[in-house]
Structure 1
Amino acid sequence: MELRPAEPADRPAIRDVARRSLQASYSLGPQAINSAIEEWYDEDRLEATFEDEERLLLVAEKAGQVVGFSESVTAADNTGTLLWLHVDPAHRGEGVASALFEATREHLADLGATHLLGRVLADNVEGNTFYEARGFDKVGTEEVDIDGRTYVENLYSESEQWGREPVETEDGRTVYVDHDNHERGSIAPFHIVHVDEGGDDRYGYFCSNCNTLANAMDSMGRIECDSCGNVRKPLRWDAAYL
């Protein structure tokens, strides 16, 4: 098995593996799967991924055939996030996922990542077990929209959790900055801010570049810090990234 960075010629194989993997691992309908493939792995999105120095696509190849791939991203606070790890169902149980995982972690470390996060949809039992078996702890949840429907995504961390820090808003309200949960920014990450320490309700975002709350969001889901101009760049490809 060969593990290597993806190339433009791999785009059809990446889409095919992603489709097969989603069909086997998730309770998604055909339309939802088609929409996810079109949104995340169409020609333009993959081309942008290849050109983005903060994004990493690795493929696993057997006998000249791509049988799996990982998609990950690095952030300015030395955090690497494994967004997807897809393996063709016909090649599961052959160590492809483990090999891709270790190769991805090594590549992210070479890029300066010292802290690794993993994301997996909550209804993927096999995927959640994969992280738990490697000593990762569930540190939170997020929501991802697929074909107009909202799904819960679990977040896993292999490093010591930094926890939630109380901060005060301008009107004297106490909210909690989640240092274990962030999204990309053009300058530095935006950390998720919760209404209470339990993290049940989201308040907004905290700009780690200038340490200020950034709560305003436009209709496209775009967030910009008024203090320093840091702009939210979602981990998932969506309209706000274009």
Structure 2
Amino acid sequence: MDVRPAEHADRPAIRDVARRSLQASYSLEPRAITTAIEEWYDEDRLAQTLEDDGRFLLVAEWDGQVVAFTESTLTGDDVGTILWIHVDPAHRGRGIGTDLFEATREYLAERGATRLQGRVLADNAVGNAFYHEQGFEEAGQQEVDIAGHTYVENRYVEGDAGREAVSVDDRTVYVDHDVTEQGSVAPFKVVYADDDAERKFGFYCSNCQTVANAMDAMGRIECDGCGNARKPTRWDASYL
């Protein structure tokens, strides 16, 4: 098996692997899968991802055929996030996912990542078990809307999930420094209303050290203090 950065010529294979993987691993509505593939992995979107310095696609080849890929990001505070690990169901059971995960970890570390986190929908039993097997700890959950249906997404961090207690309007909330979202100026860090990370409160702007908890229906958030804006993730309504 060979692992390498994706190229523009890989786009059809990436779409095909993503479709097969989503159908096999997630109890998503068929419409949600179709919409996701059309939006996330169309020609223009993949081309933008391949040109984005903070977003990475690595593919795994078996006998010259792309059979798996990872999609990951690197934020300004050196946190690498694995958004997807997709393996064609016909090629599972060969250790491809684990080898690709390790290659992605190394790839992110070479580019400055000092911490690693992953995301997976709660109903993907295999995906959640995989992160536990890699020694990751569940760091919280959030509800995500996909084509009009609500799903729960788990977040995993490597090592202990460290949360800092801060005061906002005479109440204590908890900033998770291991769970971040990309911002236009600097990363946002997820803020929870409780130390067990069961109730999400908002986001902490690492540029000006303020907390904001207002988000519009399209998943956008902007810091009132410095104008730092959160970029939508793959699940947000603006992508569907």
Q: Which residue of 2 aligns with 1:220?
A: 218
1:101-140, aligned counterparts within 5 Å? 101-140=101-140
CA shift for structure 1 position 189? 1.3
Give the alignment's TM-score, normalised by structure 1: 0.92
The count of residues paired between Structure 1 and Structure 2 equals 240
Structure 2 stretches of 5 or more lacking a match?
none
Contact 2:142/2:200 (8 A) holds in 1: no
Q: Which moved more, 1:209-218 or 1:16-25?
A: 209-218
CA shift for structure 1 position 28? 1.7
Structure 1 residue 17 corresponds to structure 2 residue 17: yes
Q: Which residue of 2 aligns with 1:172?
A: 170
* CA RMSD between the two structures: 1.8
Which runs of structure 1 show a deviation greater than 3 angstroms over 4 or more consecutive aligned residues? 237-241
| Equivalent residue letter for 1:91 | H
Cα separation, 2, equivalents of 1:125 and 1:222: 29
Cα separation, 1, equivalents of 2:200 and 2:29: 29
| C-alpha distance after superposition, 1:152-179 (max 9, x if no partner) | 111111133222x22222x323322222
Structure 1 residue 53 corresponds to structure 2 residue 56: no
Instruction: Specify whether residues 118 and 174 from structure 1 end up closer, same or farther in structure 2 by C-alpha distance, changes over 3 A only.
Output: same
Instruction: Specify whether residues 200 and 189 from structure 1 end up closer, same or farther in structure 2 by C-alpha distance, changes over 3 A only.
Output: same
Give the alignment's TM-score, normalised by structure 2: 0.93
Structure 1 residue 181 corresponds to structure 2 residue 176: no
Cα separation, 2, equivalents of 1:13 and 1:167: 46
* Secondary structure at the counterpart of residue 154 of structure 2: strand
Cα separation, 2, equivalents of 1:122 and 1:202: 16
Q: Which moved more, 1:41-50 or 1:232-241?
A: 232-241
Structure 1 residue 2 corresponds to structure 2 residue 17: no
Instruction: Specify whether residues 95 and 198 from structure 1 end up closer, same or farther in structure 2 by C-alpha distance, changes over 3 A only.
Output: closer
Cα separation, 1, equivalents of 2:192 and 2:30: 34
Structure 1 stretches of 5 or more lacking a match?
none
The partner residue of 1:235 within 229, 233, 236 is 233
Contact 1:116/1:159 (8 A) holds in 2: no
Q: Which residue of 2 aligns with 1:32?
A: 32
Instruction: Specify whether residues 97 and 203 from structure 1 end up closer, same or farther in structure 2 by C-alpha distance, changes over 3 A only.
Output: same
Q: Which residue of 1 aligns with 2:206?
A: 208
| Equivalent residue letter for 2:189 | H
**Percent of aligned pairs with the same amino acid:** 65
CA shift for structure 1 position 190? 0.9
Cα separation, 1, equivalents of 2:234 and 2:23: 19
Instruction: Specify whether residues 134 and 32 from structure 1 end up closer, same or farther in structure 2 by C-alpha distance, changes over 3 A only.
Output: same
Q: Which moved more, 1:4-13 or 1:42-51?
A: 42-51
| Equivalent residue letter for 2:144 | V
Q: Which moved more, 1:65-74 or 1:38-47?
A: 38-47
